[in-house]
């Protein structure tokens, strides 16, 4: 055996990095079972997630860390309490519009260019268990491989066009792609509210469940996915997200640039 082959034979990759990042985030609680099912529960102070610049920063980093940890075999994304993500923004009243400088927007732009690609680069099946209304960044759970919702779930983009901002940080890609171009544009322009039943008819949601059955169903599906060999799971996730990752590469940075330009101070 050559020296090179011997080195390859005896190389041991480090054990799971989970303990290094699982408690790092204030807006994400993480729990992983012994079979590799990682549940990421989004929240603000133990209640429903209130989208913020902190959540924006933490989601980008968390998805990167989760994707680098090969001991994460299935991912479940869920929220806290009676809503998945908020708060709703009143029409034309987003607090950050017309408030940015280039220096202020630059880290937001960087995080935005990586947040959704990091999610899509996780090479493990992703299940969304949407526990209630998602009125801020619904594109995050809707990018999952399997999407579960409750009877009380609805989808709406209150923060972007309706709130006075360009929907350039992924909504402009995801919603027209999932709903079809005409319906997607209507959703973005009008602030349309899509209830769970309609979302299922449109193909955004796979199953609608009572709230008390939502996570149990997600775990049941995770157990079914785990019956396949790890490489089958990882490579299936890779191949079914390839188109999405390609579209993000071409359009996400451009959309974020236009969103930022429209957010700059007038004087």
pLDDT at 94: 72
Active site residue 220: no
Q: Which two tokens stand for residue 97?
A: 């519009």
**Does residue 267 surpass a pLDDT of 70?**
no
pLDDT at 161: 93
Residue 5 pLDDT level (bands cut at 50, 70, 90) = low
- Mean pLDDT across the chain: 93
Q: So what's the pLDDT on residue 9? A: 60
Q: Tell me: the pLDDT tens digits for 108-162?
A: 999 999 999 999 999 999 999 999 999 999 999 999 999 999 999 999 999 999 9
Spatial distance between the Cα atoms of 23 and 198, rounded to a whole number of angstroms: 37
CA distances, 102 to each of 113, 252, 261, 263 (Å): 16, 18, 9, 10
Q: How confident is the model over 35-75, as pLDDT tens digits? A: 999 999 999 999 999 999 999 999 999 999 999 999 999 99
CA–CA gap between residue 208 and residue 214 (Å, rounded): 8
Note the pTM of the prediction, 2 decimals: 0.93
Catalytic residue among 139, 198, 207, 211: 139
């Amino acid at each position: 055996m050559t020296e090179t082959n011997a080195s390859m034979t005896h190389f041991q990759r480090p054990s799971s990095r989970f303990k290094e990042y699982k408690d790092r985030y204030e807006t994400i609680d993480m729990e992983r079972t012994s079979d590799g099912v990682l549940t990421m529960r989004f929240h603000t102070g133990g209640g429903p997630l209130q989208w913020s610049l902190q959540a924006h920063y933490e989601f980008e980093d968390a998805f990167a860390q989760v994707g680098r940890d090969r001991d994460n075999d299935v991912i479940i994304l869920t929220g806290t309490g009676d809503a998945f993500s908020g708060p709703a923004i009143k029409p034309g009243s987003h607090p950050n519009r017309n408030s940015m400088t280039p220096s202020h927007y630059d880290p937001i732009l960087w995080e935005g260019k990586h947040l959704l690609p990091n999610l899509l680069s996780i090479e493990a099946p992703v299940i969304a268990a949407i526990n209630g209304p998602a009125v801020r960044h619904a594109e995050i759970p809707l990018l999952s491989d399997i999407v579960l919702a409750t009877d009380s779930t609805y989808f709406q983009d209150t923060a972007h066009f309706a709130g006075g901002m360009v929907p350039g940080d992924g909504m402009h890609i995801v919603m027209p792609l999932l709903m079809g171009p005409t319906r997607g544009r209507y959703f973005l322009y009008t602030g349309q509210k899509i209830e769970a039943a309609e979302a299922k008819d449109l193909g955004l949601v796979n199953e609608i469940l009572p709230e008390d059955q939502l996570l149990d169903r997600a775990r049941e599906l995770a157990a079914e996915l785990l019956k396949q060999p790890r490489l089958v799971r990882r490579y299936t996730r890779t191949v079914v997200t390839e188109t999405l990752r390609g579209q993000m590469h071409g359009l996400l940075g451009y959309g974020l640039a236009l969103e930022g330009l429209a957010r700059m101070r007038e004087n």
